[in-house]
Amino acid sequence: MTRCLPAGHYGAKELRIGDVIDCGARLVSRDIILRFAELSGDQFEIHLSDEAAQTHGFERQVAHGLLVLSLLDGMKNNASAQLKARASKRWNWSFKAPVLAEDTISVILTITKIAQARQPDQQVVTLEISVHNQNGVLVQDGWNNLLCYA
């Protein structure tokens, strides 16, 4: 049975397979794309202007895939339901469709596995993660192994 976790901080032992965390939504503005281009040094032209993106077949300026991944991780860490995490252990990630300037992304996490870690007071929680745009299009997905306190 799937349950959407209410606000709170959850240790791994409080979780069940199928639990869901709704991380909400966030606007991916032109400004944040340009700031990420400056910070990362990735100034490939599709990230810098609508005109350049259009020459590559996109409707408008394209967000960096890694920017969206970074944003979703921040959304996870600021969701009303949070995991008592210690560190990310592994990511397996796919980029499905572009996120364009002024799109709004939403993020859903689903607990798919809970395993004992090396430390007796910690467990590895596997999160299936999906990112959709405002039109319901899946733009990124994958999983993350997160080391959590029990």
pLDDT digits (tens, 9 = 90+) for 29-79: 999 999 999 999 999 999 999 999 999 999 999 999 999 999 999 999 999
Q: For residue 49, what pLDDT is reported?
A: 97
Q: Which domain holds residue 135?
A: 8-29+63-149
Query: If we measure between CA atoms, which residue out of 64, 16, 62 comes closest to residue 42?
Result: 64
| Position 46 in a domain | no
CB count within 10 Å of CB 19 equals 22
| Position 16 in a domain | yes
| Position 137 in a domain | yes
| Position 37 in a domain | no
CA 91 from chain centre, in angstroms, equals: 11
| Position 35 in a domain | no
| Position 96 in a domain | yes
How far is it, in rounded angstroms, from Cα 85 to Cα 122?
Answer: 9
Number of domains in the chain: 1
pTM of the model: 0.94
In angstroms, the Cα distances linking 12 to 43, 113, 117, 121, 128 are 40, 10, 11, 10, 15
SS3 sequence of 25-67: EEEECHHHHHHHHHHHCCCCHHHCCHHHHHHCCCCCCECCHHH
| Position 41 in a domain | no
Q: What is the CATH number of the domain that holds 104?
A: 3.10.129.10
